[in-house]
Amino acid sequence: MKRLAIILVSTSLSLSAAPLTYPETRTEDVTDTYHGVEVKDPYRWLEDDRSDETAAWVKSQNAVTQSYLDTIPKRKDIHSRLTELWNYERYGLPSKKGDRYFYSKNNGLQNQSVLYTTQDLSDPGKILLDPNTLSEDGTVALKSTSISNNGKFMAYGISRAGSDWVEWKVRDIGTGKDLSDHIEWSKFSGASWASDDSGFYYGRFDQPKKGDEFTATNEHKKIYFHKLGDPQNKDTLVYKRDDQPKWGLGAFVTDDGDYLMIYVTQGTSPKNGFFYKNLKTADSSFVELLKDFDASYNYVTNVGSIAYFMTDLDAPKGRLISIDLENPDRANWKEVIPESEDTLEDVNHTGGQFFVTYMKDAKSIVQRHDMDGKLMSQIALPGLGSAGGFGGKADSTETFYYYTSFNTPTTLYHYDIPSNKSTIFKKPKLAYDPEQFESKQIFVTSKDGTKVPSFIVHKKGLKLDGSNPTLLYGYGGFNVNLTPSFSTIRIQWMEMGGVFVLSNLRGGSEYGEEWHQAGMLHNKQNVFDDFISTAEWLIENKYTSREKLAISGGSNGGLLVGACMTQRPDLFGAALPAVGVLDMLRFHKFTIGWAWVAEYGSSEDKDIFPLLRKYSPYHNLKAGTEYPPTMVTTGDHDDRVVPAHSFKFAAALQAAHKKDSANPVLIRIETDAGHGAGTPTSKRIDYAADVHAFLYKTLEMKN
């Protein structure tokens, strides 16, 4: 791509403003040696989230950030409008067990959605569980639920302050009362009921040492069976692998109750295994059905001994195959739905047929296929957006799905299987006019010639004069796709005159496993090049200018922002790295970070260490550089990407930043919050208001 001369010149955005004074952050003489190369880590002490010194640093940094945000009068209006937009009734997809339906509902500004149950969907139903009553500030979230086959009991998992740790409890659905059951130290696990509803299977780790709950590595996961009424110390160990401490294990019982399936992962690699145990035979042992870790295998259903799996084996964009568990030799595998030119995203077996969801240039297409794989029909969607759902049992006569787009809030549909007809089940009503916005898809040529798609959304009548404040968002990793979806935060941004851009970078799953692999390990720089090329395209095509362009991303997307702002500090008007992986040499030493080695590689590998060091945001800040206005954000209870990443990066950024620059480089640390899931509505609104107020000032917005 042609480089513009204008973006090679670094200028301050707010020449009239005085530079901020940041808290003093001490350094220490810490040096690690990687394969003969010495690397300094002067802010290592900030990794200790239990120390009084770290707590004092957090308090002082938040004080500076808050004082800066308090100088922005527009924040009050932004917060008020976000609250107004957020205040709409929304539902989760209903599911059915026994003779009851279960669904979540939020009246609008409730911190956590409430779980309801009913026997008739035309009836409002009754509250089964209200997480808002579990804490005063809404920081206890309902993480997961599992209804027993007879519809009498519900296992439910809660998390506190945004942590990934889950506590499991059991509620009697008839009485609404909890039983005595209480399970701790579960993480990355559901609960799956035995066919006789005597108890459920779940995964857990050993209890960490006191004080290490949010930083200790999570290894040696085990599968247990919990019998209703028993204390946790009586739970039966079902499966463990002492020889494979880093295997991830997930267990579930098939719908017919005949098999216990074990889903086996190696870190975050999409290549996984599947083992099973025949529950029809007493004392049967586990069979290692898929043990080569040669592809992705996602279980869909089984009919007797015939099990159906989505896989990318010999099909990078995915296909559906069947395996006879009683005759599992690969020579006997059958292809049910072959690979398509579009990317296979999901397959559900409901009502005796397959509901198959594809992505076509990151937009949803849904088809119905019979059990032999023959195409029956395509389900008509309202537009170019994202759809999902279609769950249910083999004998179901109905299912539910959702549809959403950039200007269409998530709408739920009831689908009658025999008649092949969809009707709206719940459609939200918001205080805005969706017709004032428009979206388009563009394809940008990246540095190596690859075409990379992005969606551009804005108010109608946009003038391409380079003056539009623009927020470019991306992720680019872990086989995760970004598709059109509705967000009140984006609506408020566009009402202020902002342009929103969603970029489908390599590393995601938008075009299958080849697209993913093109943005991982040794190819990670492709992701940053894609993002930078998209930014340059937006400037060249006069959607925005360097001074008006902000970049945003969270988690792996926080790495994306950190890498791009350190590689091209001249290109952006603002940067928002959220809960980011920012120290690429030590990420694997905390909680579940070791699992990401499959995606990133490790500094312990002498071949990939130079690549990690070359783009690691923390290690590539250069003294005296004028960095764009930046607000790093994290949560003090983030035990997915520990906040030390953000702490160390922010400290190093403030130290390296050009001393006379008026560009603020801040960190906002949310208390009693984690990686994002389960965050109360009130905190989400506060966060969005702070981010948009920051952009309003630093991008010199007018509306």
pLDDT digits (tens, 9 = 90+) for 651-679: 999 999 999 999 999 999 987 655 655 67
In contact, 520 and 528? CB cutoff 8 Å: no
Q: Find where tokens 């459609």 sit.
A: 427
Q: Three-class SS of residue 74?
A: helix
Say how far apart CA 324 and CA 304 lie, in whole Å. Answer: 9
Please state the rounded mean pLDDT for residues 244-264. 96
- Residue of 433, 567, 552, 422 lying closest to 499 (CA atoms): 552
pTM for this predicted structure = 0.89
- The number of beta carbons lying within 10 Å of the beta carbon of residue 293 is 15
- Residue of 662, 694, 626 lying closest to 17 (CA atoms): 662
Both tokens of 187, joined, read: 């993480």
Predicted local confidence at residue 674, as pLDDT: 56
Predicted local confidence at residue 679, as pLDDT: 78
Say how far apart CA 263 and CA 254 lie, in whole Å. Answer: 12
- The catalytic residue among 192, 503, 555, 661 is 555
Q: How many helices (H) and strands (E) in the chain? A: 10, 38
pLDDT digits (tens, 9 = 90+) for 450-470: 999 999 999 999 999 999 999
Residue 329 has pLDDT above 70, yes or no: yes
pLDDT digits (tens, 9 = 90+) for 395-441: 999 999 999 999 999 999 999 999 999 999 999 998 888 889 999 99
pLDDT digits (tens, 9 = 90+) for 604-632: 999 999 999 999 999 999 999 999 999 99
pLDDT digits (tens, 9 = 90+) for 68-90: 999 999 999 999 999 999 999 99
> Average pLDDT of the chain?
93
Q: Which amino acid is at 291?
A: K
In contact, 475 and 505? CB cutoff 8 Å: yes
Residue 502 has pLDDT above 60, yes or no: yes
Torsion angles phi and psi, residue 472, rounded to 5: -100, 120
Say how far apart CA 255 and CA 227 lie, in whole Å. Answer: 19
Please state the rounded mean pLDDT for residues 295-321. 97
Say how far apart CA 332 and CA 500 lie, in whole Å. Answer: 49
Both tokens of 171, joined, read: 């509620």
Residue 124 has pLDDT above 90, yes or no: no
Q: Is 10 a catalytic residue?
A: no
Predicted local confidence at residue 211, as pLDDT: 83
Torsion angles phi and psi, residue 681, rounded to 5: -55, -40
Q: What is the DSSP letter of 108?
A: S
pLDDT digits (tens, 9 = 90+) for 518-576: 999 999 999 999 999 999 999 999 999 999 999 999 999 999 999 999 999 999 999 99
Residue 302 has pLDDT above 50, yes or no: yes
Residue 1 has pLDDT above 70, yes or no: no
Both tokens of 336, joined, read: 């049910």
pLDDT digits (tens, 9 = 90+) for 3-52: 322 222 233 333 346 789 999 999 999 999 999 999 999 999 999 988 99
What CATH architecture is 34-84+432-698? 3-Layer(aba) Sandwich (3.40)
Q: What is the DSSP letter of 23?
A: P
Predicted local confidence at residue 15, as pLDDT: 36
Say how far apart CA 655 and CA 419 lie, in whole Å. Answer: 66
Q: Three-class SS of residue 388?
A: strand
Say how far apart CA 638 and CA 593 lie, in whole Å. Answer: 12
pLDDT digits (tens, 9 = 90+) for 193-240: 999 999 999 999 999 888 888 777 889 999 999 999 999 999 999 999
- The number of beta carbons lying within 10 Å of the beta carbon of residue 616 is 25
Q: Where are the domains of the chain?
A: 34-84+432-698, 346-428
Say how far apart CA 653 and CA 620 lie, in whole Å. Answer: 10
Both tokens of 511, joined, read: 């075009």
Predicted local confidence at residue 217, as pLDDT: 82
Q: Which amino acid is at 420?
A: N
Residues 245-266 as b/e (b if ≥16 CB within 10 A, e otherwise) read ebbbbbbbbbbeebbbbbbbbb
Please state the rounded mean pLDDT for residues 245-257. 95
- The catalytic residue among 79, 619, 637, 675 is 675
- Residue of 6, 12, 5, 42 lying closest to 658 (CA atoms): 12
Helix (H) or strand (E) holding 456: strand 451-459
Which parts of 659-700 are beta strand (E)? 665-670
Predicted local confidence at residue 401, as pLDDT: 98
- The number of beta carbons lying within 10 Å of the beta carbon of residue 548 is 26
Predicted local confidence at residue 4, as pLDDT: 28
Torsion angles phi and psi, residue 259, rounded to 5: -135, 145
Q: Which amino acid is at 343?
A: T
Helix (H) or strand (E) holding 56: helix 52-69
- The number of beta carbons lying within 10 Å of the beta carbon of residue 619 is 19
Q: Is 516 a catalytic residue?
A: no
Say how far apart CA 69 and CA 57 lie, in whole Å. Answer: 18
Please state the rounded mean pLDDT for residues 282-302. 96
Predicted local confidence at residue 164, as pLDDT: 86
Please state the rounded mean pLDDT for residues 630-645. 86
Say how far apart CA 217 and CA 591 lie, in whole Å. Answer: 4
Say how far apart CA 224 and CA 242 lie, in whole Å. Answer: 15
